[in-house]
Amino acid sequence: MARAQQQWTEHKFEQWLGNLLRGGVLLSAGIVAVGGVLYLMRHGMELPSYQVFRGEPSAFRVLPEIIETGLTLQRRRSLIQIGLLVLIATPILRVAFSGYVFAKQGDRTYVIITFIVLTILLYSLFQA
């Protein structure tokens, strides 16, 4: 009977992880699509100028500015950036959720491994 409960727990865990990944990707795609449509509605007929290189403004490189300008729709590209950030955050949330479930199950080995993976992911995200 304990084995049946464990399988149910593993199945439930897999279902949650699958739904988390699916939901994150769909949410990201929806945000990017809305941002892309809004961007094209405003700038779709403009011709790009490739003579001079212009880097991204800080509004598209700094997280608080991306969120502020994206949520207020001041810049449509910021909304696209928010969608990409959601896409990046999805596997990180998956690892964090896995660590939570492993901790709840009392599996210290997997908690340690998950914590190491999460640390590496966060370090690589915020480095540079």
pLDDT tens figures, 101-124: 888 888 899 999 999 999 999 998
- Structural domain includes residue 96: yes
Pure H helices in the chain: 2-43, 63-71, 76-105, 108-126
Tell me the residue range of the domain where 75 lies.
Answer: 20-41+57-126
Cα→Cα distances 85→4, 56, 88, 111, 125, Å = 38, 16, 5, 25, 11
- Structural domain includes residue 50: no
Confidence check: pLDDT of 128 > 60: no
106 in the Ramachandran plot: left (φ > 0), alpha (ψ -120 to 50) or beta?
A: left
What are the two backbone dihedrals, phi and then psi, of residue 75, each rounded to the nearest 5 degrees? Answer: -130, 125
The model's pTM? 0.78
- Structural domain includes residue 11: no
- Structural domain includes residue 14: no
- Structural domain includes residue 46: no
Which DSSP category does 59 fall into?
G
- Structural domain includes residue 70: yes
The arithmetic mean of pLDDT across residues 54-78, rounded, is: 78
Confidence of residue 89 (pLDDT cuts 50, 70, 90): very high
- Structural domain includes residue 12: no
Count of the separate structural domains present in the chain: 1
- Structural domain includes residue 47: no
Alpha carbon distance 36, 57 (integer Å): 18
